[in-house]
Amino acid sequence: MKKLIFLSALFIGTVCSAQNSSPRWGAGPPSEDNTGRILTYAFTQVTTTASQAIAYQRLPNAFENIVQVDTLKHALTDSVNVINAYKGDKLIFTFVADTLPAGRVVTFGNHLKSAGTLTVPKSASKSGRAEIAFMFDGTEWVELYRTITTN
């Protein structure tokens, strides 16, 4: 009976892992695909309001996840889970700020290893834009790059 319980726990622990340390496409040929035909892409559009909670939690579940946050009206804290993430997955955030002269600040929380906060600027009469990308390294999302424009 003890062996059966141990084997059941081992099986459940193996099947229900919280994160994946291998790429979504596996190790490559001959047993696994590396052609890109099984990769998935996801686009999410998020609208924030002044009354919305400032923390926003995401659960990426594709090879490349693009999250477009329309017109930031307040500071924002982004957190991301690693439950469905595979090594090599990408997460790209695009932000547009409102016309607050100081711009809007985005802070990155759980499982997001960034170079620090991101200030989405404002130009003379237009909103600024910012993009920041992360890649999953098997345990957390690591910043790849950030681009800020004030056009």
| pLDDT tens-place string over residues 98-108 | 777 777 888 88
Instruction: Express each pLDDT in 25-77 by its tens digit.
Output: 555 555 565 566 667 888 888 777 665 544 556 777 888 888 888 777 777 77
**95 CB-near residues (< 8 Å, 6+ apart):** 69, 72, 76, 104, 106, 118, 120, 129, 130, 131, 132
Query: Omega of the bond prior to 30 within 30 degrees of 0, cis?
Result: yes
Residue 140 has pLDDT above 70, yes or no: yes
Residue 142 has pLDDT above 90, yes or no: yes
- Of residues 106 and 11, the one with the higher pLDDT is 106
- Of residues 4 and 106, the one with the higher pLDDT is 106
C-alpha triplet 42, 69, 60: angle, nearest 5°: 35
What is the rounded CA–CA span in Å between residue 78 and residue 62? 18
Binned at pLDDT 50, 70 and 90, residue 109 comes out as confident
Average pLDDT, the chain: 74
pTM beyond 0.85, yes or no: no
What is the rounded CA–CA span in Å between residue 98 and residue 146? 19
